[in-house]
Chain A
Amino acid sequence: MKDACQRYAEDPETHAAHLQECAECRNIYGALNAEIEAKPVNVDALPLAPWEGASYRAWPLVIGGALGVLAIALALCAAAGISPFLAIAMGARPDAARAAIAAIDEKLRPLGPVVFTALFIVVNSILVFLLRRAPRGIGA
């Protein structure tokens, strides 16, 4: 870009005469100022956006599904001879997670504190690296 073009870009009103001299700038700014052609948009031809119809609440499906699962759960609990609350309490107990963490701790213990510290730093560094990526989401 020439100096005169740069000056016109920075302050078009003061250097208005530049457009008469420079054909390149005349073309560029002419294209920028051209009116946008108004075309009718066929909405039905556009792809379906994820948010379209998303707020619709299909209560019959939700209630039907929930009641169906509840009926099966009650029948199974009755067959197994336990109360549904006890079944939920049994399933929600964190014993399995605690046992898994204890087992992994047992496996890592022989490696020593240095290896554990190195592993901890490496894993969390990778986590931070992966978390820095912006979500692609809607535009993808």
Chain B
Amino acid sequence: MTTTMVGLRGVGKTFKGRNADTTALTAIDLAIEEGEFVSLLGPSGCGKSTLLRIIGDLTPPTSGEVTVNGKSPEQARRDRDYGMVFQQATLLDWRKVVKNIALPLEVMNLPPAERERRAREMLDLVELGEFGEHYPWQLSGGMQQRVAIARALALQPSLLLMDEPFGALDEMTRERMQMELMRIWQRTHTTVVFVTHSIPEAVFLSTRVVVMSPRPGTVAGIVDVDLPQPREFETREHPRFFVKLNEVRETLRGAGVD
């Protein structure tokens, strides 16, 4: 029996404009179970990032009901139930890497020794053990993003929210990071909600791909990705992988997205 980590019922979001209001999201119904890796996939303007921000209580919905870990998003945020990773690593450049990872633990007022221990543990998890004393600018873009992931996981959240985390990376680094993320997900069993506009990325990573269509943003269809776990380099050459890519493409086309 699984429990629902994220529940969305009739969620809508309208941005008030000077002349006209813009409906970014309408009638979103979705339930994400514990341990799932769910991608929100769609073209620019389909509201996938807005939806993620609603789950993370960074912006309120204008209608509908949202539950995160069985609570209101605000309560979940206050309880630090989720970790957030943005497209930009957003590391504080005056802090060493290990201090960056310890930042959320400092905000939680954990004792220094405990902070240090957990930050080092996370650093090892993303395989950057020897870079703890470096400053962020001394790391490559991919390494910086790994630090951002370690920082989000330092809170040991039950939910990880990722907003196009590999969007600013080159293709090769991106594929390595996807492998890395799969390895981390296997080890932590964290539920992940992952926003992307890359079809292969969504299929490779996810247990389910939520395909979204724009104007106004809504769920066009959901594709179950029943590829074998753990996902490996060879997964991308699996015949089922191509079947799933096409299924996602068909869903996008069916929603009028070319």
* A, B: real partners: no
